[in-house]
Amino acid sequence: MDVKLGVLAGDTRAVARAITWVENGDPRGAEVIRGVYASTGRAYIVGLTGSPGAGKSTLVSRLAALLAARGQKVGILAVDPSSPFSGGAILGDRVRMFDVALTRDVYIRSMGTRGALGGLNRATRMAARILDAAGFDWIFVETVGAGQAEVDVHDVAYTTAVVMAPGMGDDIQAMKAGIMEIGDLFIINKADHDGADRTATQVESVLQLSMTTGWNPPVLKVSAELNTGIDNVVDTIERHHTHLVASGKLDALKIRMAKLDVLEILKARLADMMKQQLEQPAVQVELEKVASKQSDPYSLADIIFEQSWRNT
């Protein structure tokens, strides 16, 4: 099977193989990206982040089911904690999305964090490009759910939703910077539970302190479990999309994402180059000097960096 052609034809087996190659750093993954990149840019990417237990997976499955019922193709990248043995995803999110996983127009891919901070696997960005090239209309990127540090999704998605739930300490989280600053909308899930109104009011109060012109992030109350308020979430995402297009911000976002695509590739290549240098016999001698305090890490790093550039 020609994987590149399979991706462009929307074949899910080809999509799965291409994403695996990208995750593993296989050169064939880069070849696929080169071959399909011109066909990207059509999908709308939505990121969802928030605390563990807020119901992100259930919410994503409800959103996907609604959009699929409207004739849309939906791709889901669910970032799970990595197995400490294989480095793969533990598949918790995929288990929670079992019902929607059986839907023909919904594709779910679990991805392990593989030690990456910020809530996303480093390969998530290129996995989204593959789904885009495969003809998916919507791509949902769900972070692992580690809380305040999960801001990387803002660099992958056009619209970022922060999902909260009452009674989980999110009212305290709402007073902090970081994750509150990346939200284009805030979703209070489990709105049928006690404390939902209080959590929504606190989030609204914090947002009022940082209101900007153009788009003011709304606070929506939903119950993914009861399947209520899901239409309103989709409508709000579409309104934000319209705002981005009308304001010219969507084009600016695409340029920024292209820059980050290139930066991630450069960082990976530089990291590989430096790791190879560290294995050189001469460097091993210098490492022993660092370990015995005859030298220091900064000095050795300077030497390796300069030598690497001279050899390129």
Q: Across all residues in the chain, what is the average pLDDT?
A: 85
pLDDT of amino acid 176 = 60
| 21-25, 88-92, 227-231, 247-251: segment of lowest average pLDDT | 88-92
Q: Give burial (CB, 10 Å; 0-12/13-18/19+) of 235.
A: exposed
Q: Is the pLDDT of residue 44 over 70?
A: yes
Least confident of 209-213, 225-229, 238-242: 209-213
Query: Residue 25: how many CB atoms within 10 A of its CB?
Result: 12
Sign of CA dihedral 92, 97, 103, 105: negative
Q: What's the pLDDT score for residue 247?
A: 95
Q: How confident is the model at residue 272 (pLDDT cuts 50, 70, 90)?
A: confident
Q: What is the pLDDT of residues 153-175, one digit of tens each?
A: 888 999 999 998 887 665 555 55
What does the pLDDT average to over 241-247?
A: 96
Between CA 173 and CA 182 the distance in angstroms is 13
Higher per-residue pLDDT: 241 or 181: 241
Residue 182 in this model has a pLDDT that exceeds 90: no
**Residue 149: band (very low, low, confident or very high) from pLDDT cuts 50, 70, 90:** very low
Same domain, yes or no, for 98 and 155?
A: yes
Within 10 angstroms of residue 86's Cβ, the number of other Cβ atoms is 9
- Encode pLDDT of 68-84 as tens digits: 999 999 999 998 754 44
Which residue has better confidence, 252 or 305?
Answer: 252
- Higher pLDDT pick, 312 / 282: 282
Q: Is the pLDDT of residue 13 over 70?
A: yes
pLDDT of 117: 45
Q: Where are the beta strands (DSSP E) in 51-195?
A: 74-80, 106-112, 138-142, 159-164, 185-188
Both 74 and 203 in a single domain? yes
10 falls within a domain: no
DSSP code of 37? Answer: G
Asked if 282 and 240 sit in the same domain, the reply is: no
**Position 25 in a domain:** no
Q: CA torsion, points 48, 53, 59, 64, in degrees to nearest 10?
A: 70
Q: Is 266 domain-assigned? A: yes
Catalogue the E-assigned strands of the chain.
Answer: 44-50, 74-80, 106-112, 138-142, 159-164, 185-188, 219-221
Tell me what pLDDT residue 130 has.
97
Residues 285 and 157 in one domain: no
pLDDT 10s digits, 14-36: 999 999 999 988 999 999 999 99
Same domain membership, residue 177 and residue 116: yes
Pull the structure tokens for residue 289. Answer: 């000097």
Does residue 115 carry a pLDDT above 60?
A: no
The verdict on 84 and 163 lying in the same domain is: yes
**Both structure tokens of 23:** 């995750």
Domain assignment present for residue 299? The answer is yes
Q: How many distinct structural domains can be found in the chain?
A: 2
Token duo for residue 293:
């305090």
Mean pLDDT value across residues 103-116: 76
* 3-class SS string, 148-165: CCCCHHHHCCCEEEEEEC
How much is the average pLDDT of 82-93?
48
Highest-confidence segment of 49-58, 143-152, 293-302 = 293-302
Look at 110-119, 191-200, 267-276 and tell me which has the smallest mean pLDDT.
110-119
Q: Which residues contact 258 (CB under 8 A, 6 or more apart)?
A: none
Indicate the SS3 state at residue 312: coil
Average pLDDT over residues 89-100: 54
CA-based nearest residue to 143, from 53, 56, 233: 56
Domain that holds residue 145: 40-247
> Is 13 within the bounds of a domain?
no
pLDDT score at 26: 93
Considering the domain architecture, whether residues 217 and 278 belong to the same structural domain is answered as: no
Residue 75 dihedral angles phi and psi, to the nearest 5°:
-110, 140
Tell me the HSE value of 277 on the side-chain side, using a 13 A CA sphere.
20
71 in a domain, yes or no?
A: yes
pTM over 0.75: yes
Does residue 270 lie within any of the structural domains? yes
Instruction: Characterize the bridge pairing of strands 185-188 and 74-80.
Output: unpaired
The pLDDT of residue 154: 83
Residue 119 reports pLDDT greater than 50: no
User: Are 288 and 240 members of one domain?
Assistant: no
